[in-house]
Amino acid sequence: MIRKELVAASAEPLILSLLSKGESYGYAIIQEVKARSGGKLQWTDGMLYPVLHRMERRGLLKSRWGESETGRKRKYYSIKKDGKTAMVKHHEQWSLIHSVLAGLQKEEYV
């Protein structure tokens, strides 16, 4: 099971990366993360929305109200320019951490 601190820390870069591929809404974002992680990364459903609102307040995302196929109201989120900049920074930082960990792991098995 993934530690909750890691789940929390990875939420923003994951949301930004998903939204960089196109507009989406909360429920779909949760399902996409679950599918891509093979069910290992399951966010608490309700907790995603405060994160999305915080990111919107910080100017990383923008939102609009739309309608689903069944006519239900749905709030769609898309990434803004500042969000793309933040996403690139996140990628750099996570890549750095990954490369250090991978290097250490390689040394362990050599």
Question: Where do contacts with another protein occur on this chain (CB under 8 A)?
Answer: 25-27, 44-47, 49-51, 53-54, 56-57, 65, 68, 72-75
Contact 41, 7 (CB under 8 A): yes
- Return the number of the residue (25 or 94) whose C-beta is nearest another protein: 25
Smallest separation, CB 51 to another protein (Å):
7
Measured in degrees and rounded to the nearest 5, phi and psi for residue 78 equal: -140, 160
Contact 75, 28 (CB under 8 A): no
What is the spatial distance between Cα 109 and Cα 13, in angstroms, rounded to a whole number? Answer: 30
- Return the number of the residue (65 or 101) whose C-beta is nearest another protein: 65
80: which residues sit within 8 A by CB, 6+ positions away? 59, 60, 61, 62
Smallest separation, CB 84 to another protein (Å):
20
Smallest separation, CB 93 to another protein (Å):
22
- Return the number of the residue (58 or 98) whose C-beta is nearest another protein: 58
